[in-house]
């Protein structure tokens, strides 16, 4: 399911075409198990970040080499994106921690077949409160902004219940945040492609 109230679906279909995916692939990812969704989402971002770097360098021949770089760390896709200023500081501050947390999840479940039944909700519920807050703030950074306006103020505690809305369905809000990040990266790719096109016209 693509959340059309949150994103422009055309930006999603645009990146599908750019990295050779069939139209509707990203929407169908919602049908995956938590294990499949996390693995495929991480692979999708690996390809997208490599593609964005290739467009930024204006050199598609680099893509196979860039795909081999780790997602996070000192010499990684995110470090290159940051060093050549392909993303704004604001987006770097949100998207890079998001990718780091997604990579941790992916690495935790990908190497053991017993994790095929991995449940993101059960994993979240098993965490201590501090770690729950870290996961929500990094992996679901877009959820608070989205749910704040539809949450109600608890008159007794004076606390907004946005966290209850998010925490009750971690997978849903992960999908919403993933789609928003995909749209942001899609827009950066489109901008860079326009810059290259203008440079050679």
Q: What are the residue ranges spanned by the domains of the chain?
A: 9-199
* pLDDT at position 146: 55
Q: Which residues touch 192 (CB under 8 Å, ≥6 apart)?
A: 52, 55, 56, 86
Strand, helix or coil for residue 179? helix
The phi-psi region of residue 126 (left if phi > 0; otherwise alpha if psi is between -120 and 50; otherwise beta) is: alpha
The residue to which tokens 């849903």 are assigned: 172
Q: Which residues touch 78 (CB under 8 Å, ≥6 apart)?
A: 49, 71, 72, 92, 96, 99, 100
Q: Is the CB of residue 53 less than 8 Å from the CB of residue 87?
A: no
pTM: 0.85
* pLDDT at position 155: 45
Beta carbons within 10 angstroms of residue 157's beta carbon: 8
| 3-state SS, one letter per residue, for 20-66 | CCCCCHHHHHHHCCHHHHHHHHHHHHHHHHHHHHHHHHCCHHHHHHH
Report residues of the chain scoring pLDDT below 50: 147-159
Beta carbons within 10 angstroms of residue 10's beta carbon: 9
* pLDDT at position 66: 83
Q: Is the CB of residue 125 less than 8 Å from the CB of residue 131?
A: no
What is the spatial distance between Cα 7 and Cα 14, in angstroms, rounded to a whole number? 13
């Amino acid at each position: 399911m693509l959340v059309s109230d949150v994103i422009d679906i055309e930006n999603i279909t645009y990146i599908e075409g750019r990295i050779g995916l069939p139209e509707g692939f990203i929407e169908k990812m919602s049908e995956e198990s938590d294990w499949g969704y996390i693995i495929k989402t991480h692979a999708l971002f690996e390809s997208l970040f490599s593609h964005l770097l290739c467009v930024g360098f204006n050199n598609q021949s680099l893509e196979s080499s860039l795909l081999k770089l780790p997602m996070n760390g000192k010499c990684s896709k995110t470090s290159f994106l940051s060093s050549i200023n392909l993303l704004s500081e604001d987006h770097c501050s949100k998207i890079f921690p998001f990718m780091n947390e997604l990579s941790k999840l992916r690495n935790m479940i990908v190497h053991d077949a017993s994790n095929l039944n991995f449940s993101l909700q059960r994993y979240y519920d098993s965490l201590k409160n501090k770690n729950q807050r870290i996961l929500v703030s990094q992996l679901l950074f877009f959820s608070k902004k989205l749910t704040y306006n539809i949450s109600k103020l608890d008159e007794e505690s004076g606390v907004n219940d946005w966290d209850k809305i998010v925490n009750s369905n971690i997978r849903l809000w992960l999908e919403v945040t993933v789609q928003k990040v995909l749209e942001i990266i899609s827009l950066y790719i489109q901008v860079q492609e326009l810059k290259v096109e203008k440079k050679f016209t």
